Amino acid sequence: MSMDKRIHVYYSGIVQGVGFRFTAERIAQQARLCGYVRNLDDGRVEVVCEGSEASLGDFLSRVQQIFDGQIRDTNVERQNATGEFNGFDIRF
């Protein structure tokens, strides 16, 4: 799978303590994306994913659909992939 694109996403709202990281990890692994998800001290969740444009779009759509009632704001920055990740995991 082509890992030519990267998204750096910040989610805000009620996104900590609701299974967000574990769900994002599952969705990313199913889509064969590489990167990580982690909680931030300010209450947001940060996600960095690399993969094909289609897989990244699917990831964003699925997360939004599942957590529609909890997400207040989504800030997505699109970049070129760096290839630095070997899989997708939760960072603590």
Catalytic residues, which ones? 21, 39
Give dist(CA 76, CA 78) in Å, integer. Answer: 6
CB atoms within 10 A of CB 36: 18
Please give the Cα distance from 63 to 37 (Å, whole number). Answer: 12
